[in-house]
Amino acid sequence: MDPVKHSTAPDDEPLFDPDVLKKLDFSQHSSKLNPSISVMDPGPSLLVRPLYSSDYNKGILELLGQLTQVGYVDQETFLKRFTAMKKCSGTYYVIVIEDTTINKVVGAATLVVEQKFVHDSGLRGLLEDVVINDNYRGKQLGKLIVITVCLLAEHIGCYKITLNCKDKLIPFYQSLDFAFEPDQSNSCMTIRFSK
């Protein structure tokens, strides 16, 4: 079986071309995983691949519920959002890890690519919604999926990739080459329009 593709039903579709993940060269990343795992070889029964429309039935929302509040999202709503994301070609790359023995999504992370006029009409990558099922944590899958997103951002041509995280996760992301850039003259500010 192709290590990146999964078996698809006729109406099942990936959010983005699975082949782009095959092009990522894990030897290029400075963080070496031990034991060595990669997109092409993530470990027994595991598959790293794009989000598919069928992942509603493979527990993607339950997984995201381990990260934050998901609320009530029925399948129709999920598919509408999936289709809207897919139409924004080159913008949304939701990557998941599936345990094929149970047909469940056990990890996820998203690369959002923002098109800009500044930085020579550059592309800025945003790392969002990183989560590993709590039964699968501590096995390097978090690192694997973050490295995958970073290599993908570089492959696409982003000039940088940024993220927001809780302070306790700063060492985790530092171990994956993210630099903590505390700057007294720059702060992240938010208006929350809903709770």
Ligand X SMILES: CC(C)(COP(=O)(O)OP(=O)(O)OC[C@H]1O[C@@H](n2cnc3c(N)ncnc32)[C@H](O)[C@@H]1OP(=O)(O)O)[C@@H](O)C(=O)NCCC(=O)NCCS
Residue 139 in the binding site for ligand X (CB under 6 A) = yes
Candidates 20, 61, 73, 169; binder of ligand X (CB under 6 A) is 169
* Tokens coding 48: 């790293």
Tokens of 190: 């938010």
Residue 172 contacts ligand X per CB under 6 A: yes
Q: Which residues are CB-contacts of 27 (< 8 A; sequence separation ≥ 6)?
A: none
CA distance 28 to 180: 21
Q: Which of 110, 142, 152, 161 binds ligand X (CB under 6 A)?
A: 142
21 versus 130: smaller Cβ distance to ligand X: 130
Q: Are 117 and 21 in contact (CB under 8 A)?
A: no
Residues near ligand X (CB under 6 A), total: 17
105 binds ligand X (CB under 6 A): no
CB of 118 to ligand X, least distance (A): 26
Q: Kind and range of the H or E element at 83?
A: helix 75-87
Which positions lie near ligand X, rule CB under 6 A?
Answer: 66-67, 130-132, 137-143, 165, 168-169, 172, 175
